[in-house]
Chain A
Amino acid sequence: MSRIKEFTLPDLGEGLTEGEILSWLVKVGDTIELNQPIVEVETAKAAVEIPAKWAGVVTQIFHEAGTTVEVGAPIVAIDTDPSAGALPEPSAESLAAVEVAPAEGAVEPGLIGGPAPGGRTAVLVGYGPRTTIAKRRPRVGTPSTPSTPAAPPPAPEPEPVPSGPVLAKPPVRKLARDMGVDLTSITGSGPMGSVTRDDVHKAAAQPVAAAPAPAVFDTAREQRIPVKGVRKLTAENMVASAFTAPHVTEFLTVDVTRSMKALEKIKGRREFQDVRVSPLLLVAKAVLLAAKRHPMVNSTWSGATGEIVVKEYVNLGIAAATERGLIVPNIKDAGRLTLRELAEALNTLVQVARSGRTPPADMAGGTLSITNVGVFGVDTGTPILPPGESAILAFGSVKPTPWVHKDKIKIRQVTTLGLSFDHRIIDGELGSKFLRDVGEFLTDPEATLLSWT
């Protein structure tokens, strides 16, 4: 063992991957004793002082205060036998070792810690992949053949920068966001071309070349609104949903002229005299009937138990814009209601929501939802799933549109439906069939009712 010993940052608290150097308590040239506090490091769990592992003289400090260092990286070099005379050379190779990730230790594809489809690194649990990888001895007699033939071996150095989404760990993404650095503008230096903290810091330090005239922020003309209440809840729900359930959205433009005519007929019937009837009613009916034909759409991903919970009842959520913000109350067991009962329930739900008196129970337990963005005059949207639900339908505005009808171009009442669904549960095929059925009902409600029910 060389007289120069490098102290690497240990895992200070059961599963940590990095720590920030808060301050150095020694400097190069200092003579230190065993267990003398040398550096203060803050991890996700605690700020701690690290005592020297060896007595000697500090010869090199690899990372200044303020740097975040990966567990396993050398942080300080100590000459453990300074009385033995001058040193031949400062250890330059150790510096290189800090910067270059060892490719030889790469984990085989398919294993935990190895590359997974989509360029991710597979992790079972915990804080994310470690960059310090246990060294693995080569297999006897098979120097270069990968043990998993189905997957290609990891790319040798230099690693090509993959096109497509930028690779960066979540903390690095947050750092970039906080520092206002556009990740796509950075060439990553980490494994597989991923962007590291250092890359972000470097990018932030560079002056923005050819930047347009700097915007002047006139704070006097800015309004600061505290985030609380429904807005806060909405934000939390949306973030939770968007980053938990992989969303897919499909669109379908349909001719709803017959539905509009049917609606007029319904309005004329005596039993609907005293209740408001809107296109949303037929969309709700269409969703309920289509859900009956495709029950998987009305389900919940239960990650905790490793199950998909398919519900035989539909608590139909209706997104409602209120003064307090967006809420999604639901109609309990809406599939059992007659059209007249459904119309009443919709009216009550909307009125109560607008008055701001929706009880929490009405907002809990939704299984499938509709957002009626058409009332704002827009064509459609890509809604985010309410947490726990697997599908949500956006209903756009109904507009007179030139449309091919019976081989001729006619002015027809047309709308666009947008269906977002949780791709963990619902494949493209099922999502498409469900959306197609909703569209078919709205295109020809009488015929579908007769054939489906």
Chain B
Amino acid sequence: MATGESEVGGDAPAGGFVQLLTPDGERVDSVTTADGTTYTVDFTDDEYRELYRDLVTVRRLDAEATALQRQGELGIWASLLGQEAAQVGSGRALRPQDMAFPTYREHGVLYCRGIDPIMPFGLFRGVDQGGWDPNEFKFNTYTIVIGSQTLHATGYAMGVTMDGKTGNGDGEAVIAYFGDGATSQGDVNEAFVWSGVFHAPIVFFCQNNQYAISEPLERQTRIPLYRRALGYGFPGVRIDGNDVLASYAVTRAALDQARNGQGPTLIEAYTYRMGAHTSSDDPTRYRIASEVESWKAKDPIARMKAFLAKQQLADDTFFGEVDEAAKKLALDLRERVLAMPDPQPVTLFDNVYPHGSPELAAQKAEFERYHASFEGSAH
């Protein structure tokens, strides 16, 4: 196990990336980037095993959701398959006080925040509006509009500074998730400008999964995405997005920079979306099979499993137990999703204004009368 002189990785794209665990499950002690920052992790055996459990669990829950969609129980699902390491690594790097702004695919981050994984299913099942209290969970609502959450996150991060909650190791930091396609959005670029200029305590975590639906990366950028950060005046780091250790190490460091008042960082997690963009998409129309195959060899879970086995940190009993536990969680999730009650029609008036309005009350009353005019009405 050698100490990396610079960004390493035999399977790295041109320009390299931070990799602490190779696809074969070999541990790289530490990696020092061109700007002199050294990244490493110092996990206990238990912590390594729990990271593996997280990876397996979020993949299994995601697979259950995909099946539920195919069975007509969800309207749509955006699978995270292939991006587990990027999400688990960064999600576990967050501290309790940190605020996360997800897209609609960050099921793994949600899970790592300790949130009941059923929370977003109301949205995808169409039984609620996908709303929850972001402050309660320190996890903003899923954002469907591409890139807009980076601006919300920037504003939030500027607020954290104004509240005087940065400047020490216990400070607050913000993380905004988005994809490679979002980097072409005006919103994301504006968020970069504001964060850079106002030194906001924010980490921009870009999961570059190579495709904006069907649009390949070369249609988004002429330079590696992480290098764009330089133009906005803050550092950019590219990591192996399929390496949960690199994802954890770099995100943790970037969040600490932010909470200490050192400003934003852009992290480009170089990964691959193994499934479809959403359940409405057919990736075989725009990706070739050999490309998908080549990424299978870089699977984030397989390498962690290989590492645990080689280091004798875990055996087949452990792996079997993890699989069983994940399956149990998934089946429990399935049962609870199927049991979600359909909303009553009249609930559509509930969240229009915080305290209602006379006009709204009149409309609601009329709507209730209308429904009461049907036989067997519950109202």
Interface residues of A, count at CB 8 A: 23
Q: Determine the residue in chain B with the shortest Cβ distance to A142.
A: B373
- Hey, which chain A residues are within 8 Å of B331, CB to CB? 34
Question: CB distance A46 to B280 under 8 Å?
Answer: yes
B279 within 8 A of A: yes
**Nearest A-chain residue to B76, judged by Cβ:** A14
Chain A residues near B76 (CB, 8 Å)? 13-14
CB of A12 within 8 A of CB of B375, answer no
Q: Which listed residue (A14, A46, A50, A136) contacts B282, Cβ 8 A?
A: A46
Find the B residue at minimum CB distance from A52.
B71
Instruction: Give B330-379 interface residues, CB cut-off 8 Å to A.
Output: 331, 372-377
Q: How far is the CA of A60 from the CA of B284 in the complex (A)?
A: 31
Say if the beta carbon of B75 comes within 8 Å of chain A: yes
| Residues of chain B contacted by A11 (CB below 8 angstroms) | 72, 75
Q: Which residue from A10, A46, A48, A138 sits with its C-beta under 8 Å from B374?
A: A138
Nearest CB of chain A from residue B73's CB, rounded to whole Å: 8
Query: 0/1 per residue, A10-22, Cβ < 8 Å to B?
Result: 1111100000000
A53 in contact with B71 (CB, 8 Å)? yes
Do A49 and B70 form a contact, CB below 8 Å, given A137-B375, A138-B375?
A: yes
Partner of A139, one of B64, B282, B374: B374
| A51→B276 contact, CB < 8 A | no
The answer to whether A13 and B72 touch (CB under 8 A), given A35-B67, A138-B375, is no
Q: Separation in Å of the A9 CB from the closest CB of chain B?
A: 8
A35–B73 Cα distance when bound, in Å, is 13
**Residue A8 CB within 8 A of the other chain:** yes
B70–A51 contact, CB under 8 A? Answer: yes
Instruction: Say whether A45 faces chain B, with CB atoms less than 8 Å apart.
Output: yes
Known: A45-B280, A138-B375, A140-B373. A8 touches B70 (CB 8 A): no
Partner of A137, one of B73, B282, B376: B376
Inter-subunit contact B70/A47 (CB<8 Å): no
Q: Kindly state the separation between the CA atoms of A252 and B64 in the bound complex, as whole angstroms.
A: 69
- B281-319: CB near A (< 8 Å → 1, else 0) gives 110110000000000000000000000000000000000
Q: Are A13 and B377 in contact (CB under 8 A)?
A: no
Measured CB to CB, the closest approach of chain B to A329, in angstroms, equals 38
User: Are A13 and B373 neighbours in the complex by a CB distance under 8 Å?
Assistant: no
Closest to A49 in B: B70
- Are B375 and A51 neighbours in the complex by a CB distance under 8 Å? no
* Given A45-B280, A45-B282, residue A10 in contact with residue B70 (CB < 8 A): yes
20 A-B interface contacts by CB (under 8 A): A10-B70, A10-B73, A11-B72, A11-B75, A35-B64, A45-B281, A46-B282, A47-B282, A47-B284, A48-B282, A50-B70, A50-B71, A51-B70, A137-B374, A137-B376, A137-B377, A138-B374, A139-B373, A139-B374, A140-B374
Q: In the complex, given contacts A51-B70, A137-B375, A139-B373, what are 20 additional A-B residue pairs having Cβ atoms less than 8 angstroms apart?
A: A8-B72, A10-B70, A10-B73, A12-B70, A12-B279, A12-B280, A13-B76, A13-B279, A14-B280, A34-B331, A46-B280, A46-B282, A46-B285, A47-B282, A49-B70, A50-B70, A53-B73, A137-B376, A139-B375, A140-B375
